[in-house]
Amino acid sequence: MKFLKQIYLLVALVSTLVATKMSAQSFEPTKQGLQFSAQDLDIKIEFYSNNIVRVYKTPKGVSYDKKSLSVVKSPEKTVVNFEQKGNNKLLKSSSIQVEVNPVTGGISFYDASGKLLLKDKDYGTQFSAIDDGGTPSFKVREGFLLDKNEAVYGVGQIMDNKFNRRNSSHHMQNENMSTYSPYFMSVKGYGVFWDNNSISDYNDNPQELSFSGIGHCADYYFMYGKNADGVIAQVRDLTGKAPMLPLWAYGFFQSKERYHTQDESLDVLKKYRKLQVPIDVIIQDWRYWPEYQKSDSLWNSQSFDKERFPDPKKWVNEIHKLNAKLLIVTWPGFGPKTDQRKEFDSKNMIINFDSWPPKSGARPYDVFNPEALNIYWRYLNKGIFSYIGNDGWWLDSTEPDHINVKESDFLLPTHLGTYRSVKNGFSLMHNKGIATNQRLTSTDKRVVILTRSGFLGQQLYGSNTWSGDVQSTWEMLEKQIPAALNYTLMGIPNWNSDIGGFFAGRWKKDGGNMSPEFQELYVRWMQFGAFTPMMRSHGTDLPREIWNFGDRGTWCFDAQEKIINLRYKLLPYIYSTSWEVSNYNGTFMRPLVMDFAADTKTHEIGNEYLFGRSFLVAPVTKYKAKIWPVYLPQGSDWYNFWTNEYYKGGQTVTTDTPVDILPLYVKSGSIVPFGPKVQYATEKKWDNLEIRVYPGANGEFLLYEDENDNYNYEKGVYSTIKFKWNDLEKTLTIEDRKGNFSGMIKSRKFRIILVKPNQTIADNSTEITKSVFYNGKQTHVKL
């Protein structure tokens, strides 16, 4: 018996030594990670920073040099410590730990304290060989293990009225109204970006969460941020920060399908000015180009019909004289008789499937070809930007539209492979080409792009994605909210939708613009739109300009005017939030889970959100709703914006919602600046701002100002003023102003209001607690 025990011990010792030797031989250290082979895979793990780890896998012996369309970050110098953990290897930065199993290929991610965050499954990566349009490739699948009740978000803008993306499956193919990226964020404070631009699939079930698509590698980034803001900061570090948009881009936009002549759009602006309803932007939709009456062979020629737009330079000058801006549409597809199409065809830079409009012969250019991006801009700049001096772009059909679909279309070649292997990156590259070329052409105007699709990384290009050609229904309004919140949780902060919904023909039989239900739907949608990054009215079938709903004094006109005026009063708050988004990786539309993750009820709430750090918004999405339930998260107290009624957090309250009232609450400790009443964003200086302090907690606010529309802010040409509220001492400190810029207000007045719980502040109130003259030096205001 003793002899047998000695044999067992000897065998165990030999096995341990062999395993240790095999383990040591399996791993090859690299500068900031390691590489090894397991399960017929070559696997490379590399720290891009203390918080970001890249995992890269290919079939064993099959090398592939991946060029990302989204990732702009190079690995930064990171101290990585290596330890042995049994037969596994442990890699540690200051923020995360990565455990690697050399046999199964499994990878586990932990925080610095050793708390498990995520598992890349043992045997969870699969490569199935396929023929991809004549090129050997793979169907790639990557599986992860999550906690059973772990909430995740992201994946894209999905119109299913769901917020938490667990236990759902999605075919990720970017189309009109469906905008996907293979990314998810966990409530545990990490995110995963599976860097693949192909038509893909997301599937989550109790066994695993997986991505699958076409490619030559499995390539993903694990990002740890501790909380949602931290994850978004890592996303922006990896794929690009969001630049500042100009101040005017946060005003009101008006468009329709479509203004037929230059005089028609000018008349619209003139009428807004005559009515003294604020507006900043008019948008010109399609078919301003020649010969559209005969055919669409000149579709998107990026030139102007001489009869309907006889003097486009004068047209834009007149728009500017009316203190407004112009966005003009351009498409990725070109009709067969356009000069652009002829050049693209001659250089094999067209993706040969039919695009919009039907029977036109229009086809999209190859956005994946860098030379094609430059050619596109050459025509766009010559025909429009440098010719007429427009202020921004409406990039329609950036999925792009695909009609008369054939399966073989998806195997068509592009510069980077088959169309199906890169399709979801189309919008990203189209936006990139225009944004980067405009910046090379001029730095006097910030890039402003309205686009119908998106992909992770597009935030780098001044893009604002809208939700597509949605139906004008209450159900669709309701679906906009969680779709927007999941989209912005991908780190892409700018989003909007057609106020009132695009297709409104269903309402014609009920009186069109005079239909009481359509009017109410439009007003409720506009209230929602006022608390999105872009407030834009647009649609077809029924005109959307404010006077089409009645005259001033009628409820529908007055309700619209009220919310538009509120949007403009909040411009100092919104523009300062834009600086937080750009400089500090902030988010405009903040799901409650971002700020109140400890309150587990917020994990499933996708119909409310914070706009900036202070305003809780709960849009009304039902007809004739006179009251509306609003959940106020635990962790703060809350003020009803309209009445100043004061509530403790952690409860659902019933809010009175007459048609002109949007359920709106302000977080205690908030400091909110209100600007002057204006007709356009830059009409008046902010030299007499109202500053409202909502007591109940300490708080601070950073007021940001700059030259409003150029890139000088990137050179430090801006100013900030920090306000700090000490709730115990009831003291507001206005700190020293930092920075300066041309035209900066050096001396100004702040009208301070200490909001009193349950006491309403009347409009244009004279009940100012204190008026403070401020010359840039720190001052304390005792309230």
| Residues belonging to the active site | 396, 399, 469
Per-residue tokens: 775: 């010359």
Question: Cα–Cα distance between 243 and 522 in angstroms, integer?
Answer: 31
Cβ 354 vs Cβ 363: under 8 Å:
yes
Q: Which DSSP helix (H) or strand (E) runs through 452? A: none
Q: What does DSSP say about strands 664-667 and 179-186: parallel, antiparallel, or unpaired?
A: unpaired
DSSP, res 540? B
Question: Cα–Cα distance between 512 and 541 in angstroms, integer?
Answer: 9
Calculate the CA 729 to chain-centre distance. 39
Question: Cα–Cα distance between 641 and 618 in angstroms, integer?
Answer: 12
Is the preceding omega at residue 258 within 30 degrees of 0, hence cis?
Answer: yes
φ, ψ at 512 (rounded to 5°)? 60, -130
Question: Cα–Cα distance between 666 and 642 in angstroms, integer?
Answer: 10
Q: What does DSSP say about strands 495-496 and 463-466: parallel, antiparallel, or unpaired?
A: parallel
Helix/strand/coil for 750: strand
CA-based diameter of the chain, in Å? Answer: 106
Residues with Cβ within 8 Å of residue 422, at least 6 apart in sequence: 69, 197, 198, 368, 414, 416
C-alpha dist (Å) from residue 174 to 452, 468, 561, 718:
10, 11, 36, 38
Question: Cα–Cα distance between 747 and 745 in angstroms, integer?
Answer: 6
The packing angle between helices 339-346 and 370-380, to 10°, is 160
For 24-42, the DSSP string reads HHH-EEETTEEEEEETTEE
Is the preceding omega at residue 357 within 30 degrees of 0, hence cis?
Answer: yes
Per-residue tokens: 54: 């890249």
φ, ψ at 83 (rounded to 5°)? -135, 155
Dihedral angle over CA of 711, 716, 720, 722, nearest 10: 130
Strand arrangement, sheet containing 169-172: 81-85, 88-92, 96-100, 107-111, 116-132, 135-145, 209-215, 200-204, 169-172
The packing angle between helices 312-321 and 262-275, to 10°, is 10
Residue 551 has a CB neighbour count (10 Å cut-off) of: 11
Cβ 735 vs Cβ 718: under 8 Å:
no
Percent of residues in the chain assigned helix, strand, coil, to nearest 5: 25, 30, 45
Residue 576 has a CB neighbour count (10 Å cut-off) of: 21
Scanning 410-552, the segments in alpha helix (DSSP H) are: 419-422, 426-441, 474-488, 516-529
Q: How far apart are the first and last CA of the chain?
A: 87
